[in-house]
A and B are shown apart, each in its own frame.
Chain A
Amino acid sequence: MSSDAESFLDVSDLEPPEPLVRALARIGALKEGQYLRMRHRREPCLLYPNLEQRGFTHLTRTSGSGFDVFIWRKDDSAAEQAACAAADESLGG
């Protein structure tokens, strides 16, 4: 996993809707080839349709007692590759 490609955000200690607000703010600043890895204690169901509407897509993996959500722009294939590799790695780990 390339650390440059990953932008990490831990929202486990935030109450709704702050995790969603921070995630949406952060994806707006993603550069070409970059994806967001968001760590949350619950599955952020309300986030998904918001991502869809803004042209982003995601992969969700369970992580310890919570979830890791990998988010990237739909048309950014480099970010997609990096996110999928990181998601697979998190499964293996």
Chain B
Amino acid sequence: MNPAALSLEQTPPLSVPMRFFLTAPLFVVAAAAVMLWYGPVVLSSRWMPSLLAVTHFVTLGFLAMIMIGAVQQLLPILMASPVPRPQLTSRAIHLLLTTGTLLLGTGMLTGRAGLFIPAMVSLGAGLLIFIVVVAYCLIHARSSHATVSAMALAITGLAVTSGIGLVLAGGYGLAFFQLPRYLTDLHLVWGLLGWVGLLVIGIAYQVVPMFQLTSNYPAVVMRWLPRGLFLALLLWSVAQLFPASYYWLELPGGAGLAAGYVSFAVITLLLQQRRRRQVSDVSVNYWRLALVSLLLAMVLWGVDGLTTLQHAELLFGVLLVLGFSMSVVSGMLYKIVPFLVWLHLNNHMQAAGRWGEKIPNMKQILPELHSRWQFWLQFAALLLMLGAVLWPLLTRPAAACLLVAFALLWWNLLEGVRVYLRYVRAV
């Protein structure tokens, strides 16, 4: 990082990331409400329309929403490469992503083909703006940190996932177009192990040592792991697209993906085991839950469970989405949000020349007890959801727990913003 290039003025307004962070948990509440309404039938097959709606509320409405908001905040702070016109850009992406996700989910739930075309336009435009803006910022990044290349690969993963997603949505929305179902596995694997996974790795390189007081990841891992995973994903994809000629690439591609993600999980767990201060921390608990879920998902992937074991596809999905991705995101939110609130309050006081005034610390901005309760609820929701895949009667209790967990997450984040507004108004 070039410290001279880093200035407080480059920090985008708090509203840029927060509009994404405060919208996202509400999509999980909506997904849980759909599961409560439809009950056990949701998890009866991966092709159930209600499950497709739930999945997209969660992956687009929650995961993509948070990650897109976080990246706009991280680009200026970690890479000294601010997003151009941050307010306008974030408003446009947020509006298009929110509208598109609502239309897509509703279209899937109701089967109304007419909703898919506006959903495709809205999501396509929102994601395209985001991809172009991040590509521009990465090209202008004044940092050679491994996070830059990991983020570039993750954004490529998002472009591939979105492209396949648009084709799949076309299959629902356009009468003349045959739904190419064989692309679904590519869509979900590029989404979870390409976009989400690579972005988590790239961000972990910075936030795990910074916030969890661990050593840095080994240099060779930082440099090669994302590239190796991306190559493995390409090999695996070629095998899926051209099975007649390239079926043999599935083994090196699939094994490479599993080995890469297992390595990431094990290395991060070891770093956390040896962190400088062994204090109890909700964010670390979330990371551990996420990494153990990732390891279990990779075991399922490794034993070829996706095709041979009953329920394995759904267990893999729950482990990777709710267990890994959503736990990492919640864990990061509990560090990033209070830190951003503190940073903006500090900037505000500086600008007002009121240096001597006390501003609340991280634990006052987001009380530990509230986040601890939220963690246990989200953990229980994961266990119940895994149980519901095997025993469908657990679907509604799992959905209820998920709903309460993410309503509480939303409330906790809102409390952080309230603290900020209270102090700013007082000044």
Q: If A46-B8, A46-B343 touch, does A16 touch B210 (CB 8 Å cutoff)?
A: yes
Residues of B within 8 A of A15 (CB): 210-213
Residues of B within 8 A of A13 (CB): 213, 276-277
Q: B346–A45 contact, CB under 8 A?
A: no
Residues of A within 8 A of B218 (CB): none
Q: B6–A54 contact, CB under 8 A?
A: no
Contact with A along B375-400 (1 / 0, CB 8 A): 00000000000000000000000000
Contact with B along A15-41 (1 / 0, CB 8 A): 111101100100010000000000001
Residues of A within 8 A of B209 (CB): 42
Q: B276–A12 contact, CB under 8 A?
A: yes
What is the size category of the interface that chain A forms with chain B? 20 to 34
Q: A50–B350 contact, CB under 8 A?
A: yes
B362 close to chain A: CB less than 8 A: yes
Residues of B within 8 A of A43 (CB): 1, 3
Q: How many residues of B contact A (CB 8 A)?
A: 21
B423 close to chain A: CB less than 8 A: no
B339 close to chain A: CB less than 8 A: yes
Q: Which residue of A lies closest to B7 (CB)?
A: A49
Q: B8–A42 contact, CB under 8 A?
A: no
Contact pick for A17, options B6, B339, B356, CB 8 Å:
B339
**Residues in B1-44 with C-beta less than 8 Å from chain A:** 1, 3, 6-8
Q: A49–B339 contact, CB under 8 A?
A: no
A53 close to chain B: CB less than 8 A: yes
Shortest CB–CB separation between residue B370 and chain A, in angstroms? 19
Contact pick for B343, options A17, A18, A42, A60, CB 8 Å:
A17
Q: A45–B350 contact, CB under 8 A?
A: no
Shortest CB–CB separation between residue A52 and chain B, in angstroms? 9
Q: A42–B355 contact, CB under 8 A?
A: no
Shortest CB–CB separation between residue A24 and chain B, in angstroms? 7
Query: When chains A and B are docked, how far (Å) is the Cα of A54 from the Cα of B350?
Result: 9
Shortest CB–CB separation between residue A27 and chain B, in angstroms? 10
Q: B210–A50 contact, CB under 8 A?
A: no
Query: When chains A and B are docked, how far (Å) is the Cα of A54 from the Cα of B346?
Result: 13
Residues of B within 8 A of A60 (CB): 3
Q: If A24-B355, A46-B8 touch, does A17 touch B277 (CB 8 Å cutoff)?
A: no
Q: A16–B277 contact, CB under 8 A?
A: no
Contact pick for A21, options B7, B356, B361, CB 8 Å:
B361
B342 close to chain A: CB less than 8 A: yes
Q: If A13-B277, A53-B350 touch, does A45 touch B3 (CB 8 Å cutoff)?
A: yes
Q: A17–B346 contact, CB under 8 A?
A: yes
Q: A45–B1 contact, CB under 8 A?
A: yes
Q: If A12-B276, A17-B343 touch, does A46 touch B6 (CB 8 Å cutoff)?
A: yes
Query: When chains A and B are docked, how far (Å) is the Cα of A13 from the Cα of B279?
Result: 11
Query: When chains A and B are docked, how far (Å) is the Cα of A92 from the Cα of B211?
Result: 32
Contact with A along B268-306 (1 / 0, CB 8 A): 000000001100000000000000000000000000000
Shortest CB–CB separation between residue A74 and chain B, in angstroms? 15
Residues of B within 8 A of A54 (CB): 355
Shortest CB–CB separation between residue B347 and chain A, in angstroms? 9
Residues of A within 8 A of B212 (CB): 15
Can you identify 14 A-B contacts, CB atoms within 8 angstroms?
A12-B276, A13-B276, A13-B277, A15-B211, A15-B213, A16-B210, A16-B211, A17-B342, A17-B362, A18-B361, A42-B209, A45-B3, A46-B343, A49-B7
A residues bordering B, Cβ < 8 Å?
12-18, 20-21, 24, 28, 41-43, 45-46, 48-50, 53-54, 60
List 16 extra interface pairs beyond A28-B356, A41-B276, A50-B346, CB under 8 A: A13-B213, A13-B277, A14-B213, A15-B212, A16-B210, A17-B339, A41-B213, A42-B210, A43-B3, A45-B3, A46-B6, A46-B8, A49-B6, A49-B8, A50-B8, A50-B350
